[in-house]
Chain A
């Protein structure tokens, strides 16, 4: 007879695994990938492929030559990070910059800390902010979306994002109303389906929400976190809209433009870098919502979600300390229920 195995209890497992979780996320990103392909064509494919391949390459290389630990590139986390990095980039970005961003993402933000699960900051966002600051020109050139089957022009035309357009106009002294109805401004419907300038993954709200719903259904993410972000951003920007509609954009505009939904659904929910308890997640989400709107309204960057998530990532350990799960035995009811 073969040797019996001795191990501590429990002796069964629910057979979920890290890679299953990660590939669920990949699956959830497919609608957004399709949307980006629809609007930005083969450039979107190029950017996504380059990001994923260089992320995998970097992960493999660091594990093989520097950490000398087990190789775990097939756990899917680098694929998720790679796609999310691509989602945060404009379609026209040169490939070498994507490679640099992916290397920083995996090399600096992830493997330096020991790899999956140990990084305090969201790798894809570190990669993205790194690129934003390093390559400001290319990172702020947004190709105008053209649905795949529409007649294509010879070379890509770039235009501003809705947020950039608005901010620029208001800063230049135009009223908010004029800007909202400016000819370049995408309509509400376009914003919802994603026919507007922006990074690959952020343009189509509906596609992202679809993916988010799938992840909630699969219990990969908790709905409280994205909801708290969106709600806070809505209320906070709405407050200022009520105070002075001539300067501030309406809350729906804030929700549907920029990467707010992308960040809320796919990036803030990264379990590695977000708090552990639901209460903590809500605090985290409220923080992100406030910071995002603050940066959008008063900061120099038209878009604030990346920074907001990174800053709240820094708060995550403190939040984890402050919002422990409710310990059993902490609220002692003396009265019987039955």
Chain B
């Protein structure tokens, strides 16, 4: 038997020989790649993989990139690729895996995430959106918020409350939802930047077949945690020096001597060094993951990224006041994807404010570091062991 690398190289060559990236559509190529088990080689055969160790994915990606082959669009279907796929693979039914993984991978079906609610932000387990089972169909009513891409998503992952008589973590269930259900209304949620990168999603009598439940009824918290853990893995590892906001500012500094001053120099260098040590920490984390020893640094690093993004963009505005007093465009848009570094300095400053809120606020992350990494005692919980319906909200 040949070693995995040789076998993979052969498969890649066959794929490229049969489906020339230069002539077939991206969708067709990705479908063929999926069928050849080269989508994610650590998934089982038949689900886009070959049951091989995860590390071989990098080889496959490199070879295909050399050949100019398309990759799935992570900026549009990041939730599908990064969160839904691993969750369905880990916990979904065989039918769910067969039905959803391939179109997700080819990006024929874009996914969005229906977790946060107006009353459930930091306290994600406080979701109040209700799902009631009748026969083998669930009916869902409620409101979700901070949903990116909902206006072009075909499907969604949803956490809903299915039992208000038990404590809050025990009464949630996880579903896969068809966004074309007539009970779903998507409204753009305009942000501080003027854009509407996110949406509010209203659910009125939305129907979900029980077959689209993921995990057992009442185990939604556990499933959602699996999904969210996939979100925070390997954050920012292996980035280049001066990647991100600091690079943009350093370039400007080099290009425009007029913005330089001694005081600003020391502040710029302060943040340059902060960004550099975070980069080194990420690089070390990457090396740890490579040898199978992931560290607990990820949550703390997200704190550093948010702090730095906010401070550096704020400084960038101050360094060039006459420019910082202006803005590029307040017109309401619905962008297809998020680009923290795109657009002008004012946008970058305002958008960076979200970095300490989205994907776990800095306050929640500090709790996580304190309790799970340092082992400090947990906060007193006032909602522990109390039926959801009796919890103050």
Same complex origin of A and B:
no
Q: Which A residues contact B (CB, under 8 angstroms)?
A: none
